[in-house]
Amino acid sequence: MSACHVPGWHVSPATSGLVRRRWVQVLVLVVGQAVAATAAWASFAGQSIYHYQTYRNGWDAREYTDLNALCADATTAYSIATGIRMSSIAVDENLQQCRYEYTIQSPVIGTRPTVAHGGVNFEVVRGICPVNSFAILSVYGRTTCFCNAGFAESGNACLAPPRDLTLGFFNGVWNTEWQAQDGLTAIKRVVGPEYKGRALRFEKFYNQTGRNTGNTAAQDIAETFIQRSKELDGVLANRWEHYWELLSGSSRMEGSLTQRLLGGVRDGASGLSDLIDSLVSSTLAGFVRGLSELVSNPPTEVDVADHVARLQAMADARNDFVLVAHSQGNLFVNIAYDALRKTRPDARAAVVHVAPASPTVRGAYVLADIDQVINGLRNFGSWTVQPINFWMPASTVDLSGHTMVGTYLDDVRQGGPQPQATGVTPRTWVKTMVEAALTQIASRP
């Protein structure tokens, strides 16, 4: 909105002193055109809004929250209109006037000039518009409230748009980035791209197993493979595809490269099979050892600084979160969650723990009885691993019983929350937990 001021103010009866009478024509845009200029207007809900007027022009359509600025403009405009150089000197809230002074030259030579004073009225409009809105004064003197940009009108209120929903994933032990992505996409497939009509964003927070602790155990696993692959005349020596299948827990899965190798040899097959089984066991032991090191020397905020910064930036961009963590990812998600709650209390967040290696949890969790990695931590005994709360049969799809896709998102095996229970797959169980978390954070107005 803009207002065009033409010289010719008349002072109000409260104004004293001699003034030059000139007509002032003030153009006020109609309310509809104010919408185009809304960006220039700040929200003032709850504050006082001021307009100024004289007898001649009616209310000036500009609005002020700052009285000093109003009076400076009003005095300037009045000076231009009258041709008299006036100076704004004070704001008189009792009289609701912008006080000004000016100098009157005496026609008598040698006589000192006289200082005269006057005032331009202003009107106070208080708290007329709700939070997140602004008012425009129409030519008819009515004040109309408009919601600020991005806010939706709802009755007499201006509601903030719903915040975005983000599902973040903190990966498990010694996952490659591909495996972490695989876990997140599997969750996305299970949960779906939206929740109750609201689009979901899926974010991968990748951690390779801490920056300091745990890496020695990962190196140990690789070293073990290097050493053991020299056995049987070095048959596995340059066949690292089997190492990656060991890490992913898929060595004994039907159709795996390792199973194809074992299935195709005749002479010496038992020796090779024994070697593979031995590597599976030592890899599992390596996982448990590394996790125990990590729990003994848990990650700190420094280790998750990049992820926390990302979460904070997303919170500032109006995101709420469901954070899903697997295995050692739970150690990292706890720190990230605590930091987010501390620094961005307005952002809602819930955590879903899958196979938590952490002694504490921040939300619902699932831990299968067949999970050899997490349950193996109990043998290290110096902390408490969460109690088992899901029972299911073992499978060669994932001998470790620990992987996200192979075990906790399996949709074939039936299990349940008690021993011997059947009737629900782990995928359904995890999906239910995630949906409950989404309901929790999405319920804010």
**Which residue ranges make up the site for another protein (CB under 8 A)?**
176-179, 181-182, 184-186, 188-189, 193, 199, 201-209, 211, 222, 226, 231-233, 235, 238-245, 248, 250, 253, 255-257, 260-261, 264-268, 271-272, 305-307, 310, 405, 409-411
Residue closer to another protein (CB basis): 237 or 285:
237
- Tell me the closest approach of the beta carbon of residue 300 to another protein, in angstroms: 13
Residue closer to another protein (CB basis): 62 or 163:
163
Residue closer to another protein (CB basis): 204 or 431:
204
- Tell me the closest approach of the beta carbon of residue 429 to another protein, in angstroms: 16
Backbone angles phi, psi at 295, to 5 degrees: -70, -35
Residues 6 or more apart whose Cβ sits within 8 Å of residue 15 = 118, 119, 120
- Tell me the closest approach of the beta carbon of residue 314 to another protein, in angstroms: 9
Fill in the amino acid letter for 126: R
- Tell me the closest approach of the beta carbon of residue 368 to another protein, in angstroms: 17
Residues 6 or more apart whose Cβ sits within 8 Å of residue 396 = 252, 253, 254
Residue closer to another protein (CB basis): 56 or 188:
188
- Tell me the closest approach of the beta carbon of residue 375 to another protein, in angstroms: 24
Rounded CA-CA distance 228/278 in Å is 9
Tally Cβ neighbours within 10 Å of residue 422: 12
Q: 125 - beta bridge partners?
A: 49
Residues 6 or more apart whose Cβ sits within 8 Å of residue 331 = 294, 295, 298, 299, 357, 358
Strands 164-170 and 143-147: unpaired
Helix (H) or strand (E) holding 158: strand 157-159
- Tell me the closest approach of the beta carbon of residue 182 to another protein, in angstroms: 6
Rounded CA-CA distance 38/151 in Å is 13
Instruction: Render 60-93 in DSSP notation, one character per residue.
Output: -S--BS-HHHHHHHHHHHHHHHHT--EEEEEEET
**Beta carbons of 241 and 225 less than 8 angstroms apart:** no
List the structure tokens of 19: 């003034």
- Tell me the closest approach of the beta carbon of residue 235 to another protein, in angstroms: 4
- Tell me the closest approach of the beta carbon of residue 417 to another protein, in angstroms: 23
- Tell me the closest approach of the beta carbon of residue 390 to another protein, in angstroms: 19
**Beta carbons of 97 and 83 less than 8 angstroms apart:** no
- State the alpha helices, DSSP H only, in 109-267: 177-191, 215-228, 231-234, 241-248, 257-264
Residue closer to another protein (CB basis): 238 or 418:
238
Q: 194 - beta bridge partners?
A: 199
- Tell me the closest approach of the beta carbon of residue 191 to another protein, in angstroms: 12
Residue closer to another protein (CB basis): 44 or 243:
243
Residue closer to another protein (CB basis): 31 or 399:
399
Residue closer to another protein (CB basis): 130 or 290:
290
**For the chain, the helix, strand and coil percentages under 3-state DSSP, each to the nearest 5:** 35, 20, 40
Residue closer to another protein (CB basis): 143 or 181:
181
Instruction: Render 103-132 in DSSP notation, one character per residue.
Output: EE--SSTTPPPEEEEEEEEEEEEES-S-TT
- Tell me the closest approach of the beta carbon of residue 292 to another protein, in angstroms: 20
Rounded CA-CA distance 352/92 in Å is 60
Closest CA to 88 of 104, 103, 99: 99
Residue closer to another protein (CB basis): 8 or 249:
249
Residue closer to another protein (CB basis): 58 or 162:
162
Closest CA to 372 of 277, 286, 288: 288
**Beta carbons of 197 and 429 less than 8 angstroms apart:** no
